[in-house]
Each structure stands twice: as C-alpha cells, then as structure tokens.
Amino acid sequence: MSRHATLLAAIGLLLVHFLIRSQSITQLEPYVDEGTHMTRAAVVWNFDAHPARFSHGKLLVYFWLGLFDGPPSTNLAAGRLAIALFSTITGAALFLLGRWLWNPYTGLLALGIYALLPYAFFFERMALADPFAAGFAVLVAWRSLAFARHPTLREGFAVGLLLALASMAKLTMALLPLLTVTAVLWVGLQRGDLRRGFLRSLPGLCVAALVVILMWLPILIPAYVSQQTDHPFILVNEFNIQRDDAFAPTGPLDYLVSVLPLIAEFTSPIFLIGAGMALVMNGLRRQSRGLTLFVLVWLLIVALPVILLARVVTARYLMTLAAPLTLALAAGLDQFRRLPIPTSRQMRQAAGIGVVTAWMVTFAVPFAQATPRDLPFSGNNVFDFQSGFLTADDRVREAAQVLSEIQPAGIVYATKEACHMLSFYSDNFTLRCLDDDPVPTFGQTLRHDLASGQAAYLVISWYYGPFHLGIDWLQSEEIPLHTPPRFQGPGYEFRLWRIHMKQI
C-alpha cells in the first residue's frame, strides 16, 4: 500500500472512529462522575481559587471540559463530545505507533480495531478522566520512542511536557516515566551499546524531568502550604484508595480476579486471549522481544496503580489498557501472516482479517447498536451503568421535572450523588451540593440561606442510609415521586422534600 493510500485509509478510519463515539452520545444516562467533572469544569477557568484545591487527581480534564461549558441541559452532550473529539488524537497516535514500530498494515489494523473496540468507545463517549488520560498515555509512548531514537533536548522537552500533562490528567499515570526509560533501554540494546545509548539520552531525560517538576511546582507548593490550613488541597480522593471495609478487595490478586470479567464484557474473551497470544508470539521472536517488553511495561504501568490501590472494582479505571492491548493484538495478527508455515501469505492474511471481521460482526457491532440498558452486563457493570444507583434514571428526571415546574423553585439542596446527577437538568432552578456528611451543618446552612417562611427543596440520594432532618425549627413535607427506583438495594434513597423555616 502506498503512503498516500495509507494516509487516506487512516483518515477514513478516524472518521469512523469519531462517528461511533459521537452518534447518539446522550443515549447513556448521565453518570454521577460526569456531573462531578462538569461541575468543577464550570468554575476551573475562573481561578477564584487554586484549581488544584479540588483536583481529586484529575486536574487537566476539568480545564479541557471547561472549554465546552454551557447551560446545564447542554453540558452532558458538550462534555462527552469533548472527550470523543480528544479520542481521535488517541486513535491517530495509535496508528502512528503501529506504523512506526511495525508497518502501515499494523498501524491501520490497530486503528480499525480500536475504533470498534467497545472498551474504548463506551468510555470515550463519557465525560470522564479515564479516556482523557488514556490518550496522553498513547502520546507518551509514541514520543518516548521518538526520543529514544533521537535523544535531543527538544525531544526531551516534548516528552517531559506530555508526562506532566498525563499525570495531571489522572494521577494513576504517574508511573509513565518508566515507559520513557524502557524505550531508551530498548533502543540502546537494539543498537548494541546500552551504556552509550543511555548516556546519550541522559541530558534529554534530565530536561524531561525538569519540565515535569516545573509544571508540578505551582501545584505542589500551594498544596503543601494548604495542609496547615482549614482548606487543604484534595490532590487525591482518599475514599477511592481506602481498602479497610467489607466492599474493598483484599489485595491486588483479589482486585485482578474481580475486574477481569468486567473488562471481558467490554472486549470479549477472544480479544483478551488473542492479545495475550500475540504478546507471546512476538515475545518468542528475537527481533520483536524489545517491542513486546515495551508493550508489557506499558500495560503494567497503567494497571498497577489501580490494582494496588483502588478501592472500587470497576472496568473504567483500567480502560487505559485498551490502547496497548489493541496494539499488541494488531502486531500479533501481522506476525501471524508472516509465519513460515506451508500456506500462502495471502491465505494467512485473509484468515486474520476473517477473525477480526467475525469479532466485529458478533461482538463489536451489536455492542455499538445496543442501548446501554440492554447490554449484557453483570456484577459491578450493572451496578455502575444500569442500576440507576450511579446514573440519572427516570426517577432523577422526574424529580428534575417537578422542580422545574415549581415557580419560584427557590434553592434546591441535594446530597452529593443526587446533586451531580441533577446538575444536567438544573436550567430552571438553583442547585446547591451538600457536603459528604451534611447532617451536622445542614441546619446552619439553612439558617444562613433562608428567611422565615421561605421554602426550599431537598433531594437525597444517600449511600449510607436515609437523610434525617431532625431540626426542630424546620418544617418538611415529602413530594412523592411516582417512578419506582431501579436500584432496590439497601442504603439508597432518592427522595424529594419541600422544606421551610417555621414562622417566628
């Protein structure tokens, strides 16, 4: 295939990639974390406070989503389209990696598989930090190899910039500098002089490290100083890394065993088996062992922080694996057509294309066409995306409709999860999110906000039990919601109350 034809094919696949991610983009109900991200994105560009104060390890995604902030009713589509748009950079970089490391056929195959991989497009249709960070990981892999082959100071600066941005996109990308070092060591071994290759790269590596440090200092210094105040920076969400309760996995192996079936529902077992076999196949060939090691290190770097630390067992935390797994599979299929077995190269190539086509027809395309509620999920995937516990289901929309029709609606207070789900429907009322544990401070908040006899509204969606008002100077009456909750588990109530201070 000529270079011109390869480029046209890549552009065509990128258009398919974006079409899949942008079509019917609001079909999945708003996910609670999307509300969190868009709420922070709406204020991050104001710089009223240091943006890292509420970063929760995902600072950069708020700046990206903030560029597309608008009325609440349009924010879901705008935020999701922003991530879908950024994902085209992920796909393009994956194509460049495949073409550069192997050949144009591998690059196109990797891009085509990634475009249709549900593990990629499901999350790249959501306003989340995980697909955003995944794109930076692919860019780091690409430029790390470019730096390893031509270790100039300019390339070192580019790698350092991407490493800093990747870790700001999500702190779980903090180990990516090891991927840059792996690229340097591999190229040095490939050229037969590891020591000389490393020494040639050392100035550029120092530049990269300096860039990362300089970009993080405006965050780390104020964060350190804030620890002595009443409002410390939240660089890491400690709730997500606590493994001291009955719901958290007992260790890395337990986490891995629990999460693999969830990943398989987005990839299919044949994809995971094929990617594993591809890594083994390329690892057995002397010429491609370095590349196999590079991909394995990439997989470990993005997976280990989650497997070792994360409290929540969810497939989305590991969707950054989608790109290296796809690259490994594409390289394996390319290697298969080159095997010295007594069949023609064209037949082996046709067999590989046939397997990929069968996977597309039987898994990827039906997955893309199904509505989110109809996907054959199980376990935590049901809890995350189909139960209504973490997504804005019909009951949430009914509450929003009731509040929108009240004139004047007054202030609507909502517990944290309810607030983030309601935020996309709050064009016609003022929404205020309560703290994680609002019971001790709610009365004080109301005394500050409400005049005697003035009405407000309270929405609860409570993880740990019902919200008890228990304030003697407050009158309350529940507004019944007729839509039954989809989630029937304990510790969850989505209820709407009208509240007002008693006449004095």
Domain range annotation of the chain: 3-374, 394-501
For position 305, what pLDDT does the model report?
Answer: 93
Tokens of 405: 């029709």
pLDDT score at 114 = 97
pLDDT at 68: 95
Q: Which residues of the chain have pLDDT under 50?
A: none
Between CA 336 and CA 333 the distance in angstroms is 5
Distance CA(157)–CA(162), nearest Å, equals 9
| pLDDT of amino acid 150 | 94
Q: In whole angstroms, what is the distance from residue 101 CA to residue 292 CA?
A: 11
Structural contact between residues 419 and 431, judged by C-beta atoms closer than 8 angstroms = yes
- According to the model, what pLDDT value does residue 465 have? 59
- Is residue 447 within 8 A of residue 475, CB to CB? The reply is no
Coil, strand or helix at 175? coil
Q: What is the pLDDT of residue 400?
A: 94
pLDDT of residue 321: 97
Instruction: State the pLDDT at residue 73.
Output: 92
In this predicted structure, what is the pLDDT of residue 203? 96
**Beta strand 411-414 pairing with 455-461:** parallel
What is the number of other CB atoms lying within 10 angstroms of the CB of residue 44? Answer: 25
pLDDT score for 151 = 95
Report how far Cα 493 is from the mean position of its chain's Cα atoms: 27
**Burial of 298 from C-beta contacts in 10 A (0-12 / 13-18 / 19+):** buried
